[in-house]
Structure 1
């Protein structure tokens, strides 16, 4: 009996007919059919037959290289993904080269960009040809980083930088202008997209995002979302659509939504042992007095669930005043949180700016005289501050719990130690850049470069 050659758990595949010089595949004997990550999949008629046009980003963890491909459509199949979702996939048949062997295989085109490997090699391709040794890798062919760079050099785009979109509402805001400047300063192309002027096409085969006048937005490497509260729902829908198209979003829609819901965020913090001021939430007005007592009575803070920049936050100095304010909010069906007042903070808090699990800058904010809340948008002042290791860990953990790559984390110093006030998913840059002298906008752009494995020329 002839001994079959061996494959490892991952191998390099070459698709000469598709113009793909090398793609790393996970050898998956648990999957029947081989599959390939593909985007912009379209079925066209060619000589009276159905063909498929599609694009492949063959290198893991980067979308900087795109290979346009076409192949004859041989089938449509319903495939259950590893997450349990059944979807229709188009099937092509094409030669594959592993080492010195070339043979035809069927490949399903997966339009989702969440595959760890760009290619899965299924058992139909393996049966009768190879044995699999899960402990080995690249048994048929080794390709070094230098060799891979040489193979893909002709396919690298001529532009020197990334193409980035800033998804926001007002291009004149300090933060938005600074981000645009920082991206341009690092050699990238960046455009401003008004959230409310973008719209989307939901379609399994060819989803799209279009912009004012019908321009299709399909060339971005990354999106920087800075969504104002009034358009959170629509803005997050756009972010999800960009994510479905394989565009990296600096903060995900899920993370932004969680951070904007103060009740849900507080529950997540409690679950992960992150200490916050004692907080209460109730529906019935009959529970108002006990709710006040539960957070140690007045003075206390009353917050709207989706407030930002200090708006929708009220200090009630007596139990009677607290009861009146709480019941007034409830009478108009407005959801609020009731929170203990940390008197010893003396109108001060700390803003930590977190990028990719690192505190890149921190400032202390002091409330204006007569105010209880330290907020620069309401007349407060800011100065640089040296935070403790405990405060640093708290800020990083809070951002991580919400899965935010970029976050403004507000901390208050109390007699019980540092307490988390809230986390902002679109933190402003003006106050903290002016107070600390740090170039936060540049750090945000560098975070995108690192995520996309971009190397400046």
Structure 2
């Protein structure tokens, strides 16, 4: 019986002739039930009165310029829990797998695997009855050389558009930063990671400059994508202002980032634009604690340090006594605090709407883990795809515009009074929303630069 089966190692090269993929490296994993293929820009459509799906794939690991445009019959949609713990709805296709000279039909889910080590995962359902796996071996069926790959994919390289783009951030290994770098390279741009701590500047009326470690001058950039963590806001925005002084296009301006990081000022801007928020009180070490509690409708309520970063300096006070204790504790720090009504009916859930260039490009629902509370902000948990209402999209777009942000993560909570805005994030993370929606959010950010760079010149 075994001699009729294909023997595979833990990694093998295979192909999908119906998708136009001549070869792709797969992780052979008998511990995974279903197979998965890397895909971005996924879009269902009707062909000959049947459901199909089209998508793009860059099939060679660490080569973002090579792109294959694929389409296949759509046979299902399933909720899958990814290895990173996010629940996502995936499209399922059926196509022909060719491996070791043998061909057979398999089912695969489509998902963004940019954070994974392999563009393809071959699961046990696709191997059942046909394959034996020797996990100690690799490439038992051979592997292509770099020259072979170049020849196979010579007609699949994207034309370069030639912008020089810098990602101004702190951690080059962060998923979001890696994805933006990859997306820019995939669209043919010259991408550079600029570590905020390693930049310094020359203030000069005639010849302002930004230098990088070793004295490299950074004045020849076309665009900058600021990805500034809260602890680096002051210096990161200073650098962004310097790039702006050099007439470099910045995807989010220094002013927009600065005001988004000021919790009180940002709430005032949003209210001035007619956007509803949970009832909120503000004080500096308040003397009249009772009236502050009463102002927001009494307990349970949320107490936040104004200078706290997301998730830190946030306390849920369930009783009046607990609220008084927390507020008095913060008073001893002579701190500025926000007191906010707690939206019970949200049941630990909020929405993250990702806005790019005035459009909502993706929406997820985030749910706290059992035993956690969300304190009207996102503190972790699971993410799943959800359809935002027209009103929620309107609020998100209006909020991003009020903050003057080209890119924003807008957090909204569903309350008995309707959707309420919680927070606008100027450096929203990509991992949860790309993983859950299978959308190329990083690519949309690069497209926004291409569009607005031309306008700015």
Do Structure 1 and Structure 2 share a fold, with TM-score over 0.5?
yes
Tell me the distance in 2 between the aligned counterparts of 1:348 and 1:235.
Answer: 31
Instruction: Report the count of equivalent residues.
Output: 297
Change (3 A) 1:355 1:308: farther
Q: How do residues 5-404 of structure 1 correspond to structure 2 at under 5 angstroms? A: 160-373=161-374, 378-404=379-405
TM-superposition CA deviations, 1:151-205 (whole Å, max 9, x none): xxxxxxx984100000000000000000000000000001111101101111101
> How far is the alpha carbon of 1:364 from its aligned partner?
0.3
> In 2, are the aligned partners of 1:239 and 1:252 still within 8 Å (CA)?
yes
Mean alpha-carbon deviation: is it higher for 305-314 or for 418-427? Answer: 305-314
In 2: Cα distance, 1:376 partner to 1:431 partner: 15
Residues in 1 aligned to 2:342 and 2:279: alpha-carbon distance in whole angstroms:
9
Which digits, 9 at most, give the CA deviation of each residue in 1:282-316, with x for residues without a partner?
12431211101100011101122244442332111
Aligned to 1:415: 416
**SS of 2:363's equivalent?**
strand
Alpha-carbon offset, residue 370 of structure 1: 1.6
In structure 1, C-alpha distance between the alignment counterparts of 2:369 and 2:399, rounded to whole Å: 27
| Bigger radius of gyration among the two | 1
Q: Any idea what SS the aligned residue of 2:287 has? A: helix
Secondary structure at the aligned position of 2:288 is classed as helix
Closer, same or farther in 2 for the Cα pair 1:377/1:416, shift >3 Å? closer
Quickly say closer, same or farther: Cα 1:307–1:432, change in 2 above 3 A.
Answer: farther
Compared CA separation, residues 375 and 329, structure 1 to 2 (3 A) = closer
Check the 8 A contact 1:407/1:427 in 2, yes or no.
yes
Distance 1:363 1:375 in 2: 16
Aligned to 1:432: 433
Contact persistence 2:184–2:443 (CA under 8 A) = yes
TM-score by length of 2: 0.63
Quote the Cα distance in structure 1 between the aligned partners of 2:300 and 2:202.
Answer: 50
Instruction: Quote the Cα distance in structure 1 between the aligned partners of 2:376 and 2:170.
Output: 22
Where does residue 145 of structure 1 map in the other structure?
Answer: none
Check whether the contact 1:374–1:380 (CA below 8 A) recurs between aligned residues. no
How many Å separate the matches in 2 of 1:322 and 1:313? 12
Contact 2:160 2:187 in 1 (8 A): no
Secondary structure at the residue paired with 2:214? coil
- For the residues of structure 1 that align with 2:443 and 2:205, how far apart are their CA atoms? 37
CA–CA distance in structure 1, aligned partners of residues 376 and 442 of structure 2: 21
Decide whether aligned partners of structure 1 residues 283 and 402 sit closer, same or farther in structure 2, where only a CA change above 3 A counts: same
Superposition deviation, residue 232 in structure 1: 0.5
Instruction: Give CA-to-partner distance per residue, 1:41-74, whole Å, 9 cap, x none.
Output: xxxxxxxxxxxxxxxxxxxxxxxxxxxxxxxxxx
> Normalised by the size of structure 1, how large is the TM-score?
0.63
Asked if the contact 1:165–1:190 (Cα under 8 Å) also holds between the matched residues in 2, the reply is yes
Whether contact under 8 Å (2:277, 2:420) holds in the other structure is yes
Q: Is the partner of 1:411 in helix, strand or coil?
A: strand
1:349 deviation in Å?
0.4
Please, which runs of 5 or more residues in structure 2 have no aligned partner? 1-158
Name the Cα RMSD after superposition: 1.8
**Unaligned 5+ runs, structure 1:** 1-157
Following superposition, the deviation at residue 323 of structure 1 comes to 1.1
2:71 paired residue number: none
Kept in 1, the 8 Å contact 2:302–2:375? The answer is no
Residue aligned with 2:284, SS: coil
